[in-house]
Structure 1
Amino acid sequence: MKIVRFIHAGTQSYGVVTEGGVVDAGARLRPKFGDVTDVLTAGALGELEALTDASADFALADIRYLPPVKGANSVLAVGRNYGSAYADMGTNFPGHPSIFMRRHGSHAGHLEPLIRPKASQFFDGEAELAVIIGTGGRHIPEDTAMDHIAFYSILNDGTLTDWADHTSRNVSPGKNFDSCGAFGPWMVSRDEIADAHALTILHRINGEEIQNGSTGDMIFSIAQILAYVSTFTALEPGDVITTGSPGGIRPRREAGIYLKPGDQVEMEISGIGVLANPVQDED
């Protein structure tokens, strides 16, 4: 099951993606469930699954994509979690996951522009598998952690690298400019991904392959990440956790090559889809 958030004819909603297009779940389930997070909180995914055989209300080409999870919930990101990324840097693996936060406003939807801000020209991104929590909890054991996942998606971890390097311990300023990253195009239910650690991650800029890796290269597994995060904070339905990115981007940075207006960015994860965004300058 694929779930998308969107705007159609000026109305914001959410729906089920089918072969025919989009089934408008919001039109059918509101006011009981105002958004996908409400469905997750109520443990009512069956309400969405029941719509998978319904006739589509409109085509995907007729919607404006929104990030698949509405604001308010946490977006926790794991940095430098792939062996290939450490090979690029020539440093040793860490003893614990490196965690930082992203604002929901730092993410554009599928096909929406990535914004290069006036404050910096050192703009790039990294392809990441995003996990969306379905069942919350605290002190979650590793052996049951995957049961807490409802969906998977793609996140472009957009970064202003000079701002991320302002201090040695806090990358957050470089990760949170408006629409510097992207999230989408939709969420895919956990049951459709047989093995979340056997997915191919691709990153292309203007058709050129920048990253090509596997989620099997993660240093800390998804279960380990969820167990670690839930030790210091309770996870809630709708929380988003990104799981790091493979190597490949560092050579561009070292060569001084960064995103510029007119670039076309694509990030693809097998079993999920392609997240595509153009780049433009801040007004």
Structure 2
Amino acid sequence: MRLFGFKGLNGNDGVGALSKGGSDTYIDLCATDPQIPNNLQDIIQSQAHLDRTAAVIANPKAVTGNLKDVSFKVPIERPGKIVCMGLNYADHAKEGGNARPEYPSFFMRGPSSLTAHLSPIMRPKVSDKLDYEAELAFVVGKKARNLNLENALDCVAAYSIFNDGSIRDYQRKTTQWTIGKNFDQTGAFGPWLVTPDELPAGCHGLSIQSRLNGQVMQNANTKDFLWGVAETIVLISECMTLEPGDVVITGTPAGVGYARTPPVFMKPGDVCEIEIESIGILRNTIADE
């Protein structure tokens, strides 16, 4: 299933499922079955809601709509935790002047830093050093603590795409990266959630690419992770309890703007696209705060 939250022309919140075949139509889950919640966070943590969702998608009489008539919402609008990884690709660690790490870097994002598919990424008033980072995201569907490699993937409800927009000068003001990663509306998330049954286990072997105004900036593959999705869950869950609706961002490959000569930063009017094979394309324009 490929599920997304939206706001319709009437201003109502809803949840849609992409129609199969790559068309511009979607299935309006809530209009078809009013017992389905109008937010994805409630759906992904309930097997009963997921079963009802699957039944609507299979229903030939389901209510449909056109994607051009909706505004995409952030898939999980108020996650309890957004756990982000750094230095999960050896080539990115190298371009930043770091040796191959023995343990990943972790930092947190807050919900106010998120922005949706086709909504702007905001360049803040205090900096012009807004950088892009193409990343795979996954959403937790069930409580997870002290998992192992054999059962870690069982807690994943869905996968998505993230652009970890980073304010580089603020990121380097301290030894912790948090301040440069939490400016309002800098972390693009979407466009939809894809359930694991549609993807390789742990999203292994998928191409991942960022494009700025059509130019390829990052081009890699998730097989190059230093820590795959299952290993990442093991590492995090030995420290904290992952809960339904938590989001984990898995790190970016080489090719980011600050490491280029000369550096390339996003500016108002730019269009940044992040594409992950078999998931889709996350597209955002850049605007000034």
TM-score, normalization: structure 2? Answer: 0.92
Check if 1:161 corresponds to 2:161: no
Among all aligned residue pairs of Structure 1 and Structure 2, give the percentage whose two residues are the same amino acid.
36
List aligned pairs for 1:19-30, cutoff 5 A. Answer: 19=20, 21-30=25-34
**What residue is the counterpart of 2:136 in the other structure?**
129
1:150-170 Cα distance to aligned partner (Å, 9 max, x none): 1110000000001111111x1
**What residue is the counterpart of 1:219 in the other structure?**
226
Classify 1:277/1:11 alpha carbon distance in 2 versus 1 (closer, same or farther; 3 Å). same
Letter in 1 for 2:167: L
**What residue is the counterpart of 1:38 in the other structure?**
42
Match of residue 184, structure 1, among 179, 190, 208: 190
Classify 1:29/1:135 alpha carbon distance in 2 versus 1 (closer, same or farther; 3 Å). farther
Counterpart Cα distance in 2 of 1:275 and 1:5: 14
Letter in 1 for 2:56: L
Mapped contact 2:36–2:52 kept (Cα < 8 A): no
Check if 1:150 corresponds to 2:157: yes
1:6-45 Cα distance to aligned partner (Å, 9 max, x none): 1002111212111452222234555663522222322232
Counterpart Cα distance in 2 of 1:2 and 1:182: 18
Letter in 2 for 1:132: V
1:101-120 Cα distance to aligned partner (Å, 9 max, x none): 11122121111111101011
Match of residue 52, structure 2, among 47, 52, 65: 47
Structure 1 alignment gaps of length 5 or more: none
Counterpart Cα distance in 1 of 2:257 and 2:232: 24
How far did 1:198 drift?
A: 0.4
List aligned pairs for 1:2-151, cutoff 5 A. Answer: 2-9=2-9, 10-19=11-20, 21-30=25-34, 33-44=37-48, 45-54=50-59, 55-151=62-158
Number of residue equivalences = 281
How far did 1:213 drift?
A: 0.3
Counterpart Cα distance in 1 of 2:179 and 2:126: 11
**What residue is the counterpart of 1:194 in the other structure?**
200
How far did 1:46 drift?
A: 1.4
Counterpart Cα distance in 1 of 2:35 and 2:80: 20
Check if 1:173 corresponds to 2:179: yes
Counterpart Cα distance in 1 of 2:78 and 2:31: 20
Counterpart Cα distance in 1 of 2:80 and 2:38: 15
Mapped contact 2:31–2:63 kept (Cα < 8 A): no
**Segment of structure 1 superposing worse, 245-254 or 193-202:** 245-254
**What residue is the counterpart of 1:232 in the other structure?**
239
Structure 2 alignment gaps of length 5 or more: none
Counterpart Cα distance in 2 of 1:194 and 1:92: 30
Classify 1:255/1:133 alpha carbon distance in 2 versus 1 (closer, same or farther; 3 Å). same
**Segment of structure 1 superposing worse, 214-223 or 203-212:** 214-223
How far did 1:73 drift?
A: 2.1
**What residue is the counterpart of 1:207 in the other structure?**
214
Letter in 2 for 1:52: I
Equivalent residue of 2:51, what SS?
helix
Letter in 2 for 1:145: A
CA RMSD for the aligned pairs? 1.7
Mapped contact 1:112–1:277 kept (Cα < 8 A): yes
